[in-house]
Amino acid sequence: GFAVDCSTRMDEIRFYIDALKPSQLRSHVDPMLREVEDYFGKWGDVGVVDLKYEFNHILMLIASRCLLGKEVREKIFGEFYTLFTEIEEGVNLVSFMLPYIPIPVNRRRDRARIKLTEIVTEILRSRKICNRIEEDVLQKLMDSRYKDGRCTTEAAVAGMIIALIFAGKHTSAVVSTWTGACLLTHEKFLDAAFNEQKEIMRTYGDKIDYNVLLEMETLHSCIKEAGRMNPISFGLVRQAQKNIIVRTKEGVEYDIPKGDTLVNLVMLTHKLPHIYKDPKVYDPDRFRSGRDEDKVGGKFSYGTFGGGRHVCAGEAYAFMQIKIIWSHLLRNFELKLTSPFPKTDWSKYALEPKGKVMVSYKRYRVPGI
């Protein structure tokens, strides 16, 4: 990740990109679908749930299956989930500013990180000893090579996969929850997403594959708009590598000397009225063809998944798993938000809905398909 030199970091970003490119993502659809169907199949006919908890759990199941592999999913999922939760709890503003302050949450985080590394290392060694090759991202990272021909080390693979799980699971859980809160308080777009599922089912039946997911444009826009209105990060931090001049839309110029740190405050960029019309309004149509407000505004107008050299390599993976979850919920349940619309928890470094997001459900099946 970032605790290495630039050349090594760029190689490791390439490993991520290669492991999560479309040709690889296609193989993850069926495992994701099985996890989603099995998980929500255990819900009753009616009930009340906390969306935050449910999404955290199902997305960790997906991550353990697709990223880590069957060793974790089938044997030690409970232990892994508990340890990873302790890492997540250690990612807050206090820990970000004072990462080594000896408080309980940091101690639990550090112990969990050591134990997770041991677990991943044991899996790597077991695969090598047994000459066993699996179809998961962990295997792709094991098999990756740096440009100078070096193999990845156990420590590097463990670090990369833990970072990837945090980015893929935690971020997706937050965006999934905001998507639910937004859809369930905006009937127009909930109906639009539901009707899209009906149309897709008329064409493909119950079949969902990578190409079918790409056709869920309305759902995609609903997810993207939830991310715009409720970004996960305060901002994107970059350091100027050379002297540059920044020109505002009003024509004012600023000299930025080499070495200065710049911050793109995503939570403000996403609310600029000259980029997004009525920016405080939940309007997924702003991303549809003909408006494309984020593209018209410039390539860094939408920053939920970062941008530039450090853009999230797992963006397509994130959208894919979120769409699989929400397409299943829309097809099988009537949902109602029973708690107030959540506020943002500003105590977290990775921003998320504050408190529980309670939803009542009633099992339902799209009729006439």
What token pair was written down for 271?
Answer: 């609310």
User: Which residue ranges are tagged as binding site for heme?
Assistant: 312
Nearest to residue 233, comparing CAs of 274, 284, 279, 174?
174
Q: Is 333 exposed, middle or buried (0-12, 13-18, 19+ CB in 10 A)?
A: buried
Instruction: Kindly give the residue spans of alpha helices, DSSP state H, lying in the chain.
Output: 6-19, 22-25, 29-40, 51-63, 70-75, 77-89, 93-97, 104-130, 137-143, 154-165, 171-183, 187-204, 210-214, 217-229, 266-269, 293-296, 315-332
Beta bridge partners of 345: 352
DSSP class of residue 108 equals H
- The dihedrals phi and psi of 190, each to the nearest 5 degrees, come to -65, -45
Beta bridge partners of 239: 261
User: Which residue ranges are tagged as binding site?
Assistant: 312
Helix, strand or coil, per DSSP, at residue 337 = strand
